[in-house]
């Protein structure tokens, strides 16, 4: 089992970040172009994430199949003012993928966004951890870009 924790500061209100975290559209934006998630079961993502399991097909750079993964969402009790989203996902290669996103206000126009991961993929754990590190850095960079653009998803 390996752990990872990465945080970034976002220059916008925490409520705006919370709304983004709850949007499947934002997942598409922050993962692109590295990974594309396509819903399998159910066949469409909801407008807003709800607790439950979502089976997705993943493609590296939108082309190379990476197999399927279950995104299993829950919302653990947060501290006042925070949002915590937990993905207790699983796949064929990954036995444990516990990803937590925490959103904490840092003032009226500033937010701390944190990705935390516990991962276990047997002998592949160090490789999966390294990929997750790069992927989360990419996601956080895309978050900062989206905030800087005023949440213009077309940029």
How many domains is the chain built from? 1
Q: For each of the chain's 155 residues, which pLDDT tens digit applies?
A: 999 999 999 999 999 999 999 999 999 999 999 999 999 999 999 999 999 999 999 999 999 999 999 999 999 998 888 999 999 998 888 999 999 999 999 999 999 999 999 999 999 999 999 999 999 999 999 999 999 999 999 87
**Residue numbers of the domain that contains 140:** 2-34+77-148
- What order of strands is seen across the sheet that includes strand 64-74? 2-10, 111-120, 96-105, 83-91, 64-74, 52-60, 35-41
Q: State the CATH number of the domain containing residue 25.
A: 3.30.530.20
CB atoms within 10 A of CB 59: 15
What pLDDT was estimated at residue 81? 86
What pLDDT was estimated at residue 60? 94
What pLDDT was estimated at residue 141? 98
- CA distance linking residue 3 with residue 80, whole number of Å: 25
17 falls within a domain: yes
What pLDDT was estimated at residue 79? 87
69 falls within a domain: no
């Amino acid at each position: 089992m390996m752990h990872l924790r990465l945080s970034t500061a976002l220059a916008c209100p925490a409520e705006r970040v919370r709304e983004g975290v709850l949007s499947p559209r934002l997942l598409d934006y922050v993962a692109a172009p590295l990974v594309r998630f396509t819903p399998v079961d159910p066949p469409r993502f909801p407008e807003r994430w709800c607790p439950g399991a979502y089976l997705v097909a993943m493609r590296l750079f939108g082309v190379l199949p990476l197999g399927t993964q279950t995104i299993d969402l829950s919302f653990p009790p947060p501290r006042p003012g925070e949002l915590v989203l937990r993905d207790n996902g699983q796949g064929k290669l990954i036995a444990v993928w516990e990803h937590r996103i925490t959103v904490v206000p840092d003032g009226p126009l500033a937010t701390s966004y944190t990705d935390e991961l516990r991962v276990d993929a047997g002998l592949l754990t160090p490789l999966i951890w390294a990929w997750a590190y790069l992927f989360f850095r990419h996601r956080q960079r895309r978050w900062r870009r989206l905030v800087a653009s005023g949440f213009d998803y077309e940029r």
